[in-house]
Each structure stands twice: as structure tokens, then as C-alpha cells.
Structure 1
Amino acid sequence: MLRGEPGIGKSVLLDYVAERASGFRITRAAGLESEVELPLAGLQQLLGSSLLERSEQLPAPQRDALWVAFGLRAGPAPDPFLVALATLSLLSDVAEERPLVSLVDDVQWLDRASVQVLSFVAQRLAAERIAMVFAVREPNTERELDRLPDLTLDGLDDHHARLLVQSAFPGRMDEQVRDRFVAETRGNPLALLELPRAFTPAQLAGGFGLPDAAALAGRLEQSFIQRIDSLPAETRRFLFVAAAEFVGDLTGLLRANDELGIDAEAVVPAERAGLIELGARVRFRHPLVRSAAYRAAPPDERRRAHAALANATDPQTNSDRRAWHRAHATPVPDESVAVELERSASRAQGRGGAAAAAAFLERAAELTPDPARRGTRALAAAHANFVAGAPEAAEALLPIAMMCPLDELERARVDRLRAHIAFARTRGSETPALLSAAAKRLEPLDAELARETHLEALWAAVRSGRFERAEGVVEAAEAATAATRGCSTRAIDLLLDGLTMRLAQGYATALPLLARALDAFQAEGFRRENIAWCWLACQLAMDLWNDDACAAIAGGLAGVARDRGALTVLPFALNYSAAHQLFAGKFDVAEQLVQEADAITTATAGVTIADFSVLIAAWRGDKERTHRLRAAVIADATSRGEGFAVEVAEWALATLHLGLGDYCEATAAAQRADDPDGLGFNVWVLPELIEAAVRSGDPSTATTAFERLAERSSLSSTAWARGVEARSRALLSQGHKAEDLYVEAIEHLRHSHVVVHHARAQLIYGEWLLREQRRVDARTQLIAAYRALDAMGADAFAERARRELLAAGETVRKRIADARNDLTPQEAQIARMASDGLTNPEIGAQVFLSHRTIEWHLRKVFMKLGVSSRKELADLLRDPAQSSA
């Protein structure tokens, strides 16, 4: 990334790269200020027709996403990051034939969709024969590419600056005047070349009329305006039209000028002045020349230029550009133009361009003469801005909409959007009440949307937890659903019915409805409208001790998100999958998934999520990391009012201290994690609290926690519920009863997905046997527990088992490091997929890398593990006891 102020030489360096890249294929694009709202305009420039023709060879989901995004095929709006993956695959395939250099200038004026795609591609390059160089003006508010290595360009030193300014002015220049130019421009090359041309020889000789201290970009633009003003009137008009024609289409420009009666030869003085070039495309010498020409045009001249360009634009092939020109040609509200803009917005949404749709709708609202329609379009623009990730812009449009005569449904939608904006900012706070109020307002107007909004309100209340006990939210949802409960078979409706009853009437009453909702959710598959509710479904599955549903929903969501390239959803899915891999004792896999989620969040410039890294650190017994992550999670979650994340952090701390044998600390942490009204987490927190309280000599706390646990576990027939209840009851029991319960717990948990608790049950039983002076029996359980916990990487619990074994007279050898530990999380993930039989392209599609990068990673895996084939790799990974030694 080249950074610097206008005129510092960024574009010159890009040209230099292109000249030196002998034998390379060159692709170029440049952001245009007037094109910043057109979705993927920059990416289309970069790929061009020649590269797009190669897209036929892409995997079908990627190819279809790219074609829909570019309007080459009809279809549902693609996820923008599936488009990004398609671009990465396309560029990688092209670079196989000949190395590729992609040069992108004026990134600050690229449309947001193109920036997202190119940011993703640039950050996923590893072994591809691709170089990408970007140039961006500073100061710059576009942050997606901030993670790239960068080079900030400074001005020339004084000596070279004097030489350059003197070369641009062949006559005599007063030395003090020259030094003033050098100081004022801070060695900016374009300023040194251009600013002297704005003054007469007499001024330069004596220092009269030197530039003031205004911003350098403004001074440069002003100097170009002065040069434009010195041109013949017909030439200036030609430049005005060229500046408004933002794609550089020479044919369209000449057609528009012909309509305005401007002769093509009028451009000659501007060409001689070095301001513009006419070739296959129209190019201004510098973006500041274009902006200077556009701003120098009187308003009526600009409107005439846009009108002529609109007439010269084919309404069939370039309908959006035609609509944009018409919008800028219209001085007063015009319904026909507003309708055309509205159609452009619809097309943009169909291609996944929410930001472009928002821009079209906002301009449509401004040009709408009828107040009612203006309000409708302003509300639509606000919603599009919110979807595009611009909540501030969305919020700014809501007062405009509310000043118009909206109908009752539209006003209810305004309330709902306000609540969504609040939830995006805080995750808690006043959001549940706002969503509940919007849902009540929607009930007589749009019953389906009202039910969905009630579900959103309940979920916001659950996420907020301890921070916001939203009064009336549950009651409102219960009143709204009572009459129709059980009438719908939609998974979303069943989730609402079940969650409402769970929160309003308690666990036992809600069980049948919740079970039916989970069945429906899984039966419907992971349709696009259901993805948003997977987190709630996972929490409800935990609440029901249904580890089969937990694993199926979390794993299924991750698979669907991968297939669709839904990278905004995938980090959440990977974290839930990581949690269930953790409970299954596959700590390495869990860690790989969490790190992949972090990498995707980084590559997509998404908001960092409170992930399960803190839990993994706790189970591994990493005290320093657990405390550090816990502090960060709690600080962030408290600022957002998200009690859900605080509970995860405290639960992790309780687990850590249990492993370390710090039972008083574990009790305190578990009590902080325990939210009696919490959804799902009590199945994890209460067993920890019971064990910690028993071991710290607090039977009263343990008994109270067990009573609450048994209220729920006794209603479930799953092996998880039966096993955890038996283990917890055994901790509070004595003699034969305790032993029978420990044996029962181990047997149940053996048949569940929660392998970690099966090993923990063996550990606790072995500890109990040792206290009963049954050393031989104790060693059997403790050895099994130690081996399982050690193989998982649950180091603190494994050490606890080792200490007990030493007390039982058993010598335990610590685990010898496995060569697989040398693999990075990404290498381990790729190795696992390769051992499962996936090809390089299939692995690349799964982890959003090119097949060449997968090949590069596998070479490193083979070297580290000392294998030479995929068969050897599969054999090694199938046998956990084997090492490369």
C-alpha cells in the first residue's frame, strides 16, 4: 500500500511498476470520486472482459456469485465474500500461466464493495504468483486495507525540490520565491511542477501573489482551475463534460458533446496543456485535474453535461449510469428520475450492493415530489445503509422519513430499524425494550414481521442478561403468541413459541415446544432465512442437554456458511463448532477453528467477536492467557452491555481453577458466571459450581446448585444429562450410593459427545476411590482419566490426575511432544482435510485460499511430519499415539 498526499508520486510509482514488470500480465484500476457508489465498479475495471471470460472455469458457486454480482446472470444476491473468493480463485488461475501484477490507484475513491473484495484477496495471498500494489490518498478514512504492509511517501528533500521547481520554470525565479515554494509544498513533486504555472513571470521573479497557506490539495486544484479558466470557452465546456463522464468512454463523451454542439477539436488546447489525453479511454493527467474541471463548471453547465451524458448512455446496457447522470441533471424533484433510481437500487441489491442501493435510494428520496413517497424511499435508504454496515448514515435518514406522512406500518418499521441500530452498537442496553415496542406496533400490521421482531427482542434480552432485565419484553411476546401458538410449522415461529414459554413459564412447561422447534429447525435445513437463528438454536439445544442437536446445528451451519462463502456468518459458526469440538476433547481442532474465525474476521475487516478462545485456554490450564482473555472479554462485553459474553469468561475462569485445584477461586468464578435466568449455559456452569463448592467445603452452595441442576437434567433422557446429574449427585453422596452414581455417570457420559466430562468423571471417581483407600481401583480410573486428559491437551486436569496417581503409588511418564505440535493451526487444519481425502481445490474452497497456497502449505506439513504422501499423512493422523520420531 502506497500512502501519501495528492501529487506525492503514488501514481508515478504505479506506472514505474508496470514498466518494470516485463513478462507479467498487468491489470489496473483506479477509483473515481463520481463512481464511488456504483457496486464493484472498481473490480470490473481490474478484471476487465479478458479475465472475466476465464471465470467459466471457476467452481459453480463462485462462478455464479461473480456473474450475478456483475449482472451477467440473474440470481439471489451473493454474499460479498463469495464474490471475493471467486476473485481470488480467478486471479490465481490466471497467474498460473503468467505472473500477475494488479495495480489499484486512488483507493479512497473505490466503491466499498470493490475495496472489501480486494482487501480479502490481498490478505489471502501466500504462494500465488501475484503482486498487488495499492495507492491511497492520505489522510484516508478507508481502513479495510490497513493491515497490508505500507510505504508512506514523503516530499523531495530541499536540494532536489529546488532542482525540480527550477526545471519547470525555464526563466529566472527569485531564490526567495523558489525557497518559499519548496517550503510551502514540503517537496510535493506535483505541486512543485504545477503551482509555478499559476503565476506570471513577474510574480515569480519578485514574489507577488505567492500561494497562501491553504491545504496543498486545495491549492493544487485551484492552480488547475486557473489553468482551465485560461482555456477557450469551448475547450472548457469539453472538459466539463469529460469530467462528468466518469468511465472514460470516448464514444459516449463524443456523442454527448455532439448533442451539446461542442466540436471534438475543442479538446486540442487542453491536450497541449497536458491536462487530458484522448485514447482508447479518456484520461485526465491527474485526479485533481478532473475534480478541478468538474468544480470549475457553473451549476447549469454541469446539469447540461449530465443530461447530455444520460441521453448518450444506453438504457439497456448501462441503465444505472444513465439513472445517475439523470439524477445529477435534475435541479428540481422529478418522479420519473426517482423511479429510475429506485430501479437501479433494486438491481444493486440483487447484485449484493447494499451501499450502492442506499446511495440510489437516498438520491431518489431527494428527487421525490410526493411527500409520502419521499418518506417511503428515505426509510428504504436508511434500511439499505444499515444492511451495508453504515448505521450512522441510516440513523441520519430516519428523521427525514419521519417528517413525511408515513403510514402506520412504515412508522413501525422506523421503530424496528432504530432498535436494530441500537443493538448493532451495544448488543444489550435498551435494545430489548425497543424491539419489543416495535413488535407490538407491528402486530396488527404485519403479523409475520411482528413475530420475528418479538423473537429478536427475546434474543436481545438473553444476550444482554445481567445488564438489562427488560421489563415487559417476555410478557409482550407471550401475549402476542398465545392465540396462534402451535398453528405454524415455520422453524422461526416455533422458536418464538418455545423461547417465550421457556422464559415466561419455566423449563418444564416449555420442553415439548422447544424440542419441536429444534426438530423443525434441523428438518428445514439451513435455509438462508434460518442462518441468523442458529445461535439461538444452539443455546436452546444446550438448554435441553441435546448434544446431538448442538453438534449438528453448529457443524451444519459452518458447512453451509463455507459453501455459500458467507464470511460474515462463518466466524460465529466456527466458534460454536469450536466449542463442541472442545467438549468432544478435540482441543487442537477447536483451536484451529477459532483461529480461522479470527483470520476471517481480520481479512473481512469485521467486528471482532467474543470467541471461545478463553475457554480453550482454560481447559488447557494456561493461567496467564485465561486471565488475560477473560479481562479483555469482560471489559468489552461490559461496555456493550452483553452479559452473555461475561458469563462465558467467568465460566472459563471457574474451569481453569478447577483444573488447577483452586477450589475456592473456582467457586467464586462459577457463582459469578451463574445466571439463574440464563439460557443454555447453566448446563455447563452448575456442574462446575457443584464440584468446586463440594471440594472447597461449602455443601450448602453445592446442594442448592444441584437442586437447580436436577430440575432440568431429570427431565432429559440424554446421556449427557443423565451422566452429569449422576456425577454431581455422587459428589454430594457417601459410601456405596456415591460409588454407584460414579459408575453410572461414567457409563452415561461414555455414550455422549461431551468427552471432556467423561474424563472428568473418571478423575473424580478415581480421587474418591483414593480417599476410600482403594488404591488399586483408584489407579485404574486415574490412569484412564490421565491418558484421556493428557491426549486432549487438558494439561491442568491431566496434572491433577498425575498428582493423584503419584499419591496412589503410580509413576506416570509425561507425554513426549508430538511432531504434529509443530504445525500451525492452519497447517493442522489443511492436513486434517487432506487426510480426509479432499483435493487441493476442495480444501481451498473450504478455507478460502487458492489451490496453489494449499499446495504450499501441504509441502510444509509433509516436511514437518516426515511423510511423503497423503496416505502416510492419513495413517499418521489416524493414530494419535504415533509420532514422526
Structure 2
Amino acid sequence: MLTSIGLRGRSRERDQLERLIRDVRSGRSRVLVLRGEAGTGKSALLDYLVDQAPATRVVRAAGVEPETELAYSAVQQLVAPLLPYLDRLPEPQRAALSTALGLSAGRPPEALLIGLAVLGLLAEAAVDQPLVVVVDDAQWLDRMSEVILTFVARRLDAESVALVFAARTPADETLLTGLPELRVEGLPEADARALLDTVLPGLADARVRDRIVAETRGNPLALLELPRGTDPAFGFGIPAADSVAGHLEQAFGRRIAALPPQTRTLLLAAAVEPVGNVPLLWRAAELLGVGAEAAGPAEAAGLVEIGARVRFRHPLARSAAWHGADPAQLRAVHRALAEATDAGEDPDRRAWHRGHAAAGPDEEVAGELESSAGRALSRGGRAAAAAFLERAAELTPEPGRRATRMLAAARARLASGGAAAVPDLLAAAEQGPLDALARATVERLRAQIAFVLNTGREVVPPLIEAAGRLESLDPAAARETYLSAVGAAINAGRFGADDLRLAVDAAAGSLAGVSLAAGTLAAGSPAPGSVAAGSLAGDVEPAGLLLASLVTWAREGHTAAVPAFRRALAAVPADAELDLLWLTGMLVHEVFDDEAFLERTEQAVTSARAAGALSRLPGALTFRSTALIHAGRFADASDLIDEAAALARATGAAPHPASGSILAAYRGKIGEALAMIDELSREARAGGAGWLLGVAGYSRAVLHNGHGDYAAALAAAREAAAYEDLAILQWSLGELVEAAARSGATEEAAQARDRLVARAAAVGTPWARGVRAMADALVGDAEDDYRAAVEAFGAGRLTLSLARARLLYGEWLRRANRRAEARDQLRPAYEAFSTMGAEGFAERAGRELTAMGETVRKRSAGTPAELTAQESQIARLAAAGRTNPEIAAVLFLSPRTVEWHLRKVFTKLGVTSRRDLPAAVGRVP
């Protein structure tokens, strides 16, 4: 072990680490990030933590700067000792982790499925013995390891696992941001002076000492390293606090430069070889003509320790050895390491070394790197694949092949989430000869980057241009790109009306020559430029049919588009559902298909879970939660919204805000709901997302109608219904009819009714019949229409709409002084709203019952103790018959944590088995 820089003045840090170990031994999990600038002693604290855990299993890994582009590098270090527990994992998780680590072949796994596997592996290992996982230099983790380990850190709870990171103070936020932190600062002044005394002679000027302590801010490594080789009696320049790391690296560089040449070469090889493999280092050293005796001066200087593994005194010493080498030396070391690496055991690291050893174009090496990229993609390592492909392209001598590889690197970068790097790669690809299809692909990728960064109107023109280039080269890709352009314009809503017309006109032209079966999308004779439609018949893909239906909707209106919407929805197969869910989820509203609304969204979530498509799961959860809201299942919808938010935190993505605002509006807590809706409005305006402004307006109208504030509801619904926002318009029109009719704005109510009835008239579903009857009832005040609305909604699956229809009918009956009949409608409405948690509507129904002399008792939570949100989720899933592993997979927890929470649920609810849960969960708020 290297000589420690000491734990002088670290009582606070030691206490926290000792408490962490106690918690882990008692059965709890703990996560901690030691955060501080270079040299503050984070690694020494990790060593102290390990020394305090003799009765636990310890696994360690470290981020290494040269390995930041190699997928799963740190994860592999951590899980290798735990692979005996791999067979305890569920098959999908076991397969995903085995594929990621190259242990077996399989479909490219999703990162978060691998994360769930790593979480399960740690939990299983901790069953036998508490586990301490230490990750040093987390700022240099490869991207995939960072995603996976952050996911694990956010889900640990009751597994007897400690996960402790050490990371430098970041300039920007990272995925680790938000985890529990312990800031590691400089030493207190007295301890800093005492440490300085160990390296400064007693004759050093006191003012020099004062300056060193002040300007290093007590940084232990700076106190030890910067005075070396200087004459403190006369003073010397100490760097400003914000450049301590740079000056420390320079100090290490000066010490390395004073070593013998062969020792410097050995240190360089150790720095470039990232995993500390001692046999590999000695094989490379032999190829470089360096003997074992070269290690002595480096070890004597305290720069490195070569034992079971190679370990540098500090990462800055590694950086100094690496960055201080000239290019020729660095290439020679990479060449030796490549030759020393077994091509059968580690072909990718060998190719990586060969790629950096090449001084100029080399097709053989470029081919190896391309093969490594393919293996990385098969394991889900898109960022690593991009890095391999970029270097392969740089080494490719033939211009055309170079451009093709650069284009492949751009695709991999975009798929990995690195959109910012793609424009430069595309520009490099364009320097080589590209055929027409490749050039069109470049344009499409540029448009896709814009769409990823901004789904509003700004991306519509480049998407249209890219689609136009693709028309003669790849018609299907052209239609998919036009669909993205139309989708971006739809999302822009009121801000993108002109862009929608441009996209639709361009898309119509691309569809004009498509041969489809009988009929047109419009009723009667097709208008000029309308698009013929029919069955698939091998002529056009589902995306093309969806595009054709939207063209007709935009040009000829809702009624003309309904048949096309139906045909397009019927044509979308289950395996395409996730890709097209954003659109099919909207179109089921346009055809008033409540069965499809619920079944498609459920299928989408099930498919995403089964396939491990966790990057697509948040979108599926959002659409499913909206369906559950209208089915009256608020608690289940809330669970899915929370799950989507947890996924977003794990991936760094932003969750879709629409369903949360709608749920808050129906729950009826005014302050909470308005805050969420106002935030949605601000985000929508800032991002140019007019469709989301429609969602915000609809949500406000729901909230105010629920509380009987019809004037406020009218203003909100009037604004929302002024725009043709797909899916949202019909909901907004329903709120507008109710608010206007109850505000005495009879003419406005009639106009909104006519618009809504025209949309529902072309459809014969229970949902459409109920909407039409309710609008007629509110305007015409006819009992037959109220009764028809209740009957129609009762035949469908939208429980929320049925409860609202009963409320309106009951209010009408009370005004008619038919109290007994009014109670028959108002009681079930009140019970339904109360059970759902729709507080505003429940209070409105309760006021009506109270006015008739009824005693209305608020529903009691009825639990011995309040369940937390996570306990409620687990309780409901267990009551639905899910096993602990199934619940763990749904909530991204380990089965051990689920079991621990269930024990607490049983105690709080006063039950002793799962058989008792369904009745008890009915009382959970």
C-alpha cells in the first residue's frame, strides 16, 4: 500500500464513513459520493472505509481517463468477483448482463436492464455477507458504467450494500448529482501546518508557510507535493486555488522527468494500460526493452506501487506520465501493449491500442476497430462503438470507405445520446465521396439531431428537406422523415401552423404515387392533392399510412380523416407500437376508441418491459397513465408517473409532463395543481410546444369545472379549444360546453356543442355516443340526453366520464326537484369520485347531496399508519398478485427491498399475509 497522505483533521469524514458501515451491517443500504478537488484525500478516505469493513466483502473499481470510451469498463471490474451469483438473477437480467460483459451472445441490451441486473447481483451477493462497493475517480467512468451505477445508486435501499464514489468537484452537473454527498475540503489550518512540517525543513520562512497553507486551502496533496524541489527559505510561487490540480500534475511531471529513461517508459506503459494488469505490463515492458529493475526508482519516488495490481500514488501522477510523453513514445507504448494483449481474450482493447499506435492510415487496423465497434453495439455500448468507428475512419486510407465509417460513427453517437458531437462527424463524412443515398442520410441525421434537441417548429424545414432528398432513394425512409416533420409541427401546435402546412404539402407529394387499395381517406371524391388509402398490401408501411391519415386530417378536417385514422391504427403491428406510440396514442382519441385507448397503452408498457426497452418505457408509461386517469384509476396512474420520473432521473432525460398535470387537475388540490399547470405552461412557451399549452388549458378547465368555478373554467377551455391540437381538442371542447352552459354563455355553449358533435357523429363507439349525448344535454337541457350519456358511458370503459355524466344528470334532477332520482345518480358519482381521489368533483357531488338533506361522510384513509408513496405502490402491486421479483422489475428495486417494504406494509395495515392485502389496500390513500 502506498504511504497515505494521512487522515489528519478528518474526524467528521471518519465518523460518517463509520456510520455508513454500521448501517450496512444492520441491513440497510447506503450511497455516498465523496466530492472534492484533486488532492484532498478522497482516495485515502476510501482506503479508510475499506479498513473499517473487515467483516464485509469489498469490491473496487476506478474510472481511468484512457478508458472513458470503452463500454462497461468499470462495471466489469466490479461485477467480475460477483459472477458466481449470476444464476440467481431472473433470465432477462442474466442474459442482458452476460451480453453486456461479452460472456454470451444476444440482443443488444438496454442500459437500464443491465442496471437492474447489477442491482440484483449486488443484492444477492449481500445476502451472504454485507457488501461494500468502492468506485474511485468517478469523473472518468465510461458513459455506460456511469449510467448503470447511478441507476443502481438511486435504487438501493435494504440490501446491506454500501456504494461509495469518489469524484472531483464537477464543473457541470453529472448523473451523480443529487446523490448523498460528503464534501471533502482542505485541512483545517493547524492540521495543514502539521502536515506541511513533514516535508518542509524547520528553517522555512514563516511567511512562506502561511502563504502555502492559505493558497493551497489546506489541500493535503498540494501541501506534500508542491514544496518538493524548491527552496522554501526564499519562497516560491504557489498556484491559485482554482488551478491546484494543474500545478500538481506539473509537479508530478517534474518528478517523473528526473527519473531514468527506462523508468519513465515503464511509468508511461503503466499509465496507458488502464486496468493495472501486472503480467500484461511486464510483457509490454519486455517488448519495449525495459527490465524489471526500472520499477525501483518510480516506487522509491512514491509515484507507483507494483504488486498484485499496478497502482499510482494519485491519478494526477498517471496523468502526468501520460500527458508528458511525446507522440512517438506514446505510439510505441500502445504498440507494445497491443502486441502483449491476447487477441482471443481481449480483442477490443488490443484493437484500441493498435488504433492509437498507428502513425498514419492503416486499413488492417481500421478493420479491427470496425469489428470492435460491431461487438460494442451487440453489447449495447453505442458510445464505445462510436469511439471505435471514429478512430477507424481516421485510419482509413480510401476516402469513400472513410466517409462511410464516419457516417456510421455519427449514427452511433446519435444513438448513444451524444448529439452534440454528430455535426462534426457529419461534416467529416461529407469531405469524402458519398453517393446520393448517403448524402440524404447525412441530411436526415442532421434533421434528427435537431428533432432530438428541439421537437418544435425549428426542426420542421430541415426534416422536410431531408425527406425530399430521400424520396427517390429510400421512399420508406422519406415517409418516416416526413412523419417526424408533421409530428414536430403538431407538437408546435399554435406556434407552427405554417410549418404544418409546409410539411403536409411536401408529404402529400411523396404519397401521390403510392399504390394503395380501394377508397380514399376523404369521404366522397378526393380533393386535389388528397391521398388515396387502403390496405397495406406490401405497398406502404404503417408509418406511411399514419402519415397519409395526418395529411387528410390537416387538409380536409377530422370527419374526412376518421376512416384513414382507423385504417392506419389497424395497420400498426404490435412490434411497431413503441416507435409509433406517440402518434397512435393520439389517434385513438380522434376515433373515440376507448377499448384501443386502454388496450394499446397497456400493450405498449408490457412490450417495453418484456423487451427490456427501458429507454422507450417512460413514453409508454406516460400514455398508459393518461388512459388510467380516464379509467378512474388515479393511484395506478400516479404509480406509473412516478416510475417514469424515476427512469428519467436515472437516464438524465426529462419526463413528459402532460399526464402529471392532467392527474393533478382531476385530483383537485387547487394550489398544487395550478403550480404544476403553470410550470407546464412556462415550459411549453419556452420550448415552443403549443400542443402542451393545449394540455395546460384543458387541465385548468378540468380543475375549475371540478370545483364549480365555471367562469375560470370557461376562460381556460375557451383558449384551449381555439386551436386544433390533436387529441386534446375534443377534451377541451367538452370542458368548454360544460363551463359555458353553466356560466350562462348559451350561444358559446351551443357553438362548442356543434363542433364536438360533428367530431363524434362519424363514430359509433360508446365513448362517442356519450360525448355527443352529454353535449346535447348541457345545451338542450333534455333529460333523455342526460340518460343517454349515462347509458353510453356505462357501456364503455371510461369510468371517469361515467361519474361526470352521473353528476351532471343528478344536478339536473335535483333542480327538477326529483330528489329520490337525483340521489340515485349523485350517490354513485360521489362514491366513484371519492374512490378515485377526484376531490373537487367529489365535493361538488357532496354539496348536491347535502343540499337534499343527505349526510355525506368523507372517506377515511382507515390505515393504522400512513403508507409512503413507495409502500403504496408495492402494496397495490402485491394485492394485484405480483410476486416480489415482478414488483422489483416494475419499480426498479431489488427483491430484497420489496420484501423489506412489504414487512412494513403488513405492520402498518395490520395484516399478516398477502391474502389480506386486496381489502386493506382499498383503504390506502
**TM-score (normalizing by structure 2):** 0.91
User: 2:328 is matched with which residue?
Assistant: 300
Report the equivalent of 2:149.
118
Paired with 1:705 and 1:42, the residues of 2 have a C-alpha distance of 60
Which residue number corresponds to residue 499 of structure 1? 550
Does the alignment pair 1:30 with 2:30? no
SS in 1 for 2:911: coil
CA distance in 2, matches of 1:587, 1:335: 60
Query: Could you tell which deviates more after superposition, 113-122 or 313-322?
Result: 313-322
Residue by residue over 1:540-576, the C-alpha shift from the partner in whole angstroms, topping out at 9 and shown as x without a partner, is 1111100111111111112222333433222222222
Aligned to 2:48: 16
Corresponding residue for 1:680? Answer: 727
Q: Which moved more, 1:630-639 or 1:806-815?
A: 806-815
Q: Report the alpha carbon displacement of residue 595 of structure 1 after superposing the two structures with TM.
A: 1.9
C-alpha change, 1:205 and 1:876, in structure 2 (3 Å) is closer
Q: Could you give the per-residue CA deviations for residues 345-393 of structure 1, whole angstroms, max 9, x where no partner exists?
A: 2221111111112222222232233333333223222222222112211
CA contact (8 A) 2:618 2:655 kept: no
* Per-residue deviation, residues 800-826 of structure 1 (Å, max 9, x unmatched): 222222333433333333329932332
The answer to whether the 8 Å contact 1:106/1:137 transfers is yes
From 352, 359, 366, the counterpart of 2:387: 359
1:276 aligns with 2:270: no
Query: In 2, are the aligned partners of 1:591 and 1:825 still within 8 Å (CA)?
Result: no
Q: Does the Cα contact within 8 Å between 1:415 and 1:438 map onto a contact in 2?
A: yes
Task: Work out which of the residue numbers 612, 616, 622 in structure 1 matches 2:669.
Answer: 622
Is residue 189 of structure 1 aligned with residue 220 of structure 2? yes
Alignment partner, residue 511 of structure 1: 562
Find the aligned partners of 1:864 and 1:95 in 2 and give their Cα distance.
27
**Is 2:427 aligned against 1:404?**
no
2:74 and 2:658 map into 1 onto residues whose CA distance is 34
**How does 1:558-573 map onto structure 2 within 5 Å?**
558-573=605-620
In the other structure, the counterpart of 2:122 is 91
The match for 1:146 is: 177
Is the contact between residue 436 and residue 453 of structure 1 (CA under 8 Å) also seen in structure 2? Answer: yes
Match of 1:861 in 2: 905
Query: Could you tell which deviates more after superposition, 475-484 or 866-875?
Result: 475-484
How far apart are the structure 2 equivalents of 1:180 and 1:440?
A: 67
Cross-structure match for 1:44? 76
Where does residue 635 of structure 1 map in the other structure?
682
1:242/1:248 contact within 8 Å kept:
yes
2:134 matched to which residue of 1?
Answer: 103
Q: What is residue 589 of structure 2 aligned with on the other side? A: 542
> Equivalent of 2:694, from 637, 643, 647?
647
Q: Shift of the alpha carbon at 1:454?
A: 1.6
Which of 9-18 and 866-875 deviates more?
Answer: 866-875
CA separation of 1:821 and 1:514: change in aligned 2, threshold 3 A? farther
1:140: how far off? 4.3
2:915 to 849, 857, 871: 871
Moved more, 465-474 or 607-616: 607-616
Distance change >3 Å, CA 883–CA 155, structure 1 → 2: closer
Matches within 5 A, 1:201-212: 203-207=231-235, 209-211=236-238
Matched residue count:
869
* Correspondence for 1:80: 111
| Mapped partners of 1:228, 1:883: distance in 2 | 66
**Bigger Cα displacement from structure 2, 272-281 vs 485-494:** 485-494
Name which of 803, 807, 817 aligns with 1:763: 807
- What is the aligned partner in structure 2 of residue 65 from structure 1? 96
**TM-aligned CA deviation for residue 846 of structure 1:** 1.9
Aligned mates of 2:718, 2:637 — CA distance in 1 = 26
Give the 3 Å change call, closer, same or farther, for CA 226–171 of structure 1 in structure 2. farther
Aligned partner (choices 716, 735, 740) of residue 669 of structure 1: 716
Contact kept? 2:494, 2:723, Cα under 8 Å: no
Q: State the match for 1:160 in structure 2.
A: 191
Change (3 A) 1:206 1:876: closer
Match of 1:609 among 619, 641, 656: 656
CA RMSD of aligned residues (A): 2.0
Deviations 1:711-749 (A, max 9, x none): 221111111110111111111214xxx111111111110
Contact 2:710–2:739, Cα closer than 8 Å, also in 1: yes
2:216 and 2:238 in contact (8 A); partners too: no
Do 1:66 and 1:83's aligned partners in 2 also have CA atoms closer than 8 Å? yes
CA distance in 2 between counterparts of 1:401 and 1:793 reads 56
TM-aligned CA distance change 1:231 to 1:328, over 3 Å: same
Distance across 1 between alignment mates of 2:99 and 2:324 = 38
Cα deviation 1:452-494 (Å, max 9, x = unaligned): 1122122222111111121321122122123324443743333
What amino acid is aligned across from residue 262 of structure 1 in structure 2? V
Question: Alpha-carbon deviations, 1:291-312, whole Å to 9, x = none?
Answer: 1111222221111111111111
Cα shift at 1:171: 6.3
Q: Does 1:479 align with 2:509?
A: yes
Cα contact 1:595–1:825 (8 A) shared by 2: no
Q: 1:482 to 1:194 in 2, by over 3 A?
A: same
Aligned twin of 2:768? 721
> Counterpart of 1:739?
783
Q: What is the match of residue 752 of structure 1? A: 796
Q: Deviations over 1:820-871 (max 9, x none)?
A: 9932332222112211222212211221111111011112211221111111
Is the contact made by 1:362 and 1:377 (CA closer than 8 Å) also made in structure 2?
A: yes
Contact 1:429 1:640 (C-alpha < 8 Å) held by counterparts: no
Deviation string 1:371-421 (CA, Å, 9 cap, x unpaired) is 333332232222222221122112333332333332222221222222222
Distance 2:202 2:723 in 1: 85
Contact kept? 1:545, 1:683, Cα under 8 Å: no
Q: 1:545 to 1:60 in 2, by over 3 A?
A: same
Q: How does 1:815-826 map to 2 (within 5 A)?
A: 815-819=859-863, 822-826=866-870
CA distance in 1, matches of 2:765, 2:648: 35
SS in 2 for 1:612: helix
- Alignment equivalent of 1:394, drawn from 422, 428, 448: 422
Q: Secondary structure at the match of 1:472?
A: helix
Q: What one-letter code is carried by the residue in structure 2 that aligns with 1:474? A: V
Note the C-alpha offset of 1:142. Answer: 5.5
Kept in 2, the 8 Å contact 1:6–1:217? The answer is yes
Task: Specify the alignment match of 1:658 in structure 2.
Answer: 705
- Residue aligning to 1:589: 636
| Corresponding position of 1:451 | 479
Look up the SS of the partner of 2:680 in the other structure.
Answer: helix
Report the secondary structure of 1:27's partner residue.
Answer: strand
1:765 Cα deviation from its structure 2 partner = 1.2
Moved more, 447-456 or 745-754: 447-456
Instruction: Provide the C-alpha distance between the structure 1 equivalents of 2:704 and 2:838, rounded to a whole number of angstroms.
Output: 13
1:435 corresponds to which residue? 463
Flag structure 2 segments of 5+ consecutive residues without an equivalent: 1-32, 517-533
The C-alpha deviation readout for 1:101-121, integer Å capped at 9, x for no partner, is 000000011101001111010
Native 8 Å contact 2:382 2:415 kept in 1? yes
Over the matched positions of the two proteins, sequence identity in percent amounts to 49
Q: Tell me the residue number matched to 2:14.
A: none
Query: C-alpha separation between the residues in 2 aligned to 1:412 and 1:302?
Result: 39
d(CA) in 2 for partners of 1:649 and 1:820?
Answer: 37
Counterpart secondary structure, 2:674 = helix
Structure 1 CA distance for aligned equivalents of residues 832 and 87 of structure 2: 49
Which of the residues 174, 198, 202 maps onto 2:205?
Answer: 174
Matched, 1:377 2:408: no
The residue number in structure 2 matching 1:706 is 753
Distance 1:592 1:296 in 2: 54
Please say which of residues 328-337 and 294-303 is displaced more in the overlay.
328-337
